[in-house]
Copies of this chain bind each other. A is one copy, B any other.
Amino acid sequence: MGKVFSSFDEAVADIFDSAVIMVSGFGGTGGTAQNLIVALRDHGALNLTIISNTAGLASLMGFGTLPGHTAVDCGLLIDNDQVGKLIASYPVSPSPSKVNSFESHFREGKIGLELVPQGTLAERIRAGGAGIPAFFTPTGVGTQLAEGKEVREFDGRRHILETALKADFALIKAHKADTLGNLSYKGTSQNFGAVMVRSSGISIVEVDEIVSPGQIESHLINTPALFVDRLVKI
């Protein structure tokens, strides 16, 4: 059961056109699989559906990015016309005057958008990994994001039905892995990655370090090995 790949290119080589791909990260560079994203850009798969919290705020405006660093995020794939649809909570720049490539592609009709409240996005991804096809949530009730969705009252409060999200691949950044596939993250960088790793057919994880089983102590493992398919050391 060899999970360790020797290059980013090799780890993304079988990503196909029109694949659904989850991309980890909250919006900054922490928890974002920058090397895998570059490899997927070089690989060139087209018409991808990207599931990501943002369309890339780190590359756009240095969000959560260390001073002086140049960030890579899923904005790179949108810039490169590889994305046909985005499922995200924060797709555009916070300022109308700063236009990212998602927004310009969107206005040209070149890219689709499913806008999802951030908590609903996280829960839909979790549901996808936990075998829950749909759930009711109060978030979004009475807003335009609830349009067309089934509404039902529980305890006198309205809720809408949301469905699970799954992907063909996930591109994840973690801190450490052991060769079995156990992962640990640093600080706030587990965010979406630690959920996406569960709901993708093939999870591909770039890590700062790959060690032997036992070298990440059991109580420090955030993601158990069964969720992890491929590892590449940065």
Beyond A154-B163, A219-B220, A220-B219, whether A135 also contacts B134 by CB under 8 A is yes
Which of B123, B135, B152, B154 is close to A136, meaning CB atoms less than 8 Å apart? B135
Interface presence of A127 (CB below 8 A): yes
Which of B123, B133, B155 is close to A130, meaning CB atoms less than 8 Å apart? B123
Interface of A is mostly: mixed
CB <8 Å contact, B133 and A133: no
Give the size of the chain A interface in residues (CB under 8 angstroms): 23
Which of B135, B187, B218 is close to A127, meaning CB atoms less than 8 Å apart? B135
Residues of B within 8 A of A155 (CB): 133
A-B pairs, 8 with minimum CB distance: A133-B154, A135-B135, A134-B136, A132-B135, A133-B136, A133-B159, A132-B137, A134-B154
A residues in contact (CB < 8 Å) with B: 123, 127, 130-138, 152, 154-155, 157, 159, 163, 184, 186-187, 218-220
